[in-house]
Amino acid sequence: MRAVLYAARLGLSRGWTEFRQSLKSPGDIGWNVIVAMIFVVVLFFQRDSKVEGTEVSLASAVLPGILGMWITVGGFQGALSTLSVEREDGTLLRARTVPNGMIGYLVGRVVSVALGTILSLVIIFSAGLFLIPELPGTGLAGWLTFGWLLVLGFLATLPWGAVLGSLARGSNAASGLGMLGVTALAGISGIFYPIVALPGWVQAVAQAFPVYWMGLGVRSAFLPGSAVSAEIGDSWRHWETAGVLGAWAVAGFLVAPAVLRRMARRESGAAMEARRLRATQRIA
């Protein structure tokens, strides 16, 4: 147990170091900043519109969907794309040679990806304080709710992104498959609209995955209490949200290290060199 905790502590340090280094490289953080600015532009054009029949600004109604979706995409897709690349460049092969290296690697990846996504959220919130009249009035309970959702959201998605990234045949295939899956889940999860408008069986499927619960939880943090009438059972279901996200997180951290270790055992210098050669031939 001490060895595992030591590896996790090294992973925390590695993740923080990687994030600090990324701040010095525009290419590393550019994607997060660009997407965050796109969301800010959307909020800017919606700032003066109202949701029909209410006094709630359209920007305020859209913000929870943006936040919930970005946390999910940032966690899952960020881990998936980075891990698939580092599998090809030999980073995972080197981690295999260190005792409990896969645990340290996974923790480091969680920390660095999470911090990069949080940077985007800070940009969105900073602009939202000026563009969304309701946001500065969010009470302590709302911010605390968003805080535990942020933590559980990352823990529930990052390990599964790592799993898919380790199983995919290449970085391009991993990114495409991951984005397709997240987009499909977002489409049935009501993250930007009430899920009650969808058929009952679709609602049941959506509630098995983290995307729906992230959207529901973030809406509960930032929308007025009257908005709960548009939700299933007229309830924000905080306990259910914590339970589902927590279950995905626990399962992910049990499955991911085992999958990473198995994948790393099958890796070799020859296999890595063969992938590099194929990539070079495709470019040529």
Work out the mean pLDDT of the chain and round it to a whole number.
80
Confidence of residue 146 (pLDDT cuts 50, 70, 90): very high
More confident call, 106 vs 282: 106
More confident call, 24 vs 217: 217
- Residue written as token pair 């409990």: 100
- For residue 195, give the nearest of 172, 173, 178, 214 by alpha carbon: 214
Confidence of residue 168 (pLDDT cuts 50, 70, 90): low
Rg (CA), the chain: 20
Q: What pLDDT is recorded for position 97?
A: 64
**pLDDT greater than 70 at residue 127:** yes
More confident call, 170 vs 189: 189
3-state secondary structure the chain: CHHHHHHHHHHHHHHHHHHHHHHCCHHHHHHHHHHHHHHHHHHHHHCCCECCCCCCEHHHHHHHHHHHHHHHHHHHHHHHHHHHHHHHHCHHHHHCCCCCHHHHHHHHHHHHHHHHHHHHHHHHHHHHHHHCCCHHHCCHHHHHHHHHHHHHHHHHHHHHHHHHHHHCCCHHHHHHHHHHHHHHHHHHCCCCCCHHHCCHHHHHHHCCCHHHHHHHHHHHHHCCHHHHHHCHHHCCCHHHHHHHHHHHHHHHHHHHHHHHHHHHHHCCHHHHHHHHHHHHHHHC
Work out the percent of the chain whose per-residue pLDDT is above 90.
17
**pLDDT greater than 80 at residue 67:** yes
List pLDDT tens digits, range 198-211: 888 989 999 999 99
**pLDDT greater than 70 at residue 227:** yes
Least confident residue range of 45-59, 168-182, 265-279: 265-279
Q: What pLDDT is recorded for position 148?
A: 95
**pLDDT greater than 50 at residue 179:** yes
Helix 238-266 to helix 210-222 angle, to the nearest 10 degrees? 140
Confidence of residue 140 (pLDDT cuts 50, 70, 90): very high
Confidence of residue 182 (pLDDT cuts 50, 70, 90): confident
**pLDDT greater than 90 at residue 72:** no
More confident call, 82 vs 144: 144
Q: What pLDDT is recorded for position 275?
A: 57
**pLDDT greater than 60 at residue 281:** no
Question: What is the Cα–Cα distance from 106 to 79, expressed in whole angstroms?
Answer: 9
Q: What pLDDT is recorded for position 276?
A: 59
Q: What pLDDT is recorded for position 170?
A: 61
**pLDDT greater than 90 at residue 241:** yes
Q: What pLDDT is recorded for position 283?
A: 45
pTM of the predicted model as reported, rounded to 2 decimal places: 0.83
Tell me the average pLDDT across 241-255.
93
Going from N- to C-terminal start, the domains of the chain cover 2-283
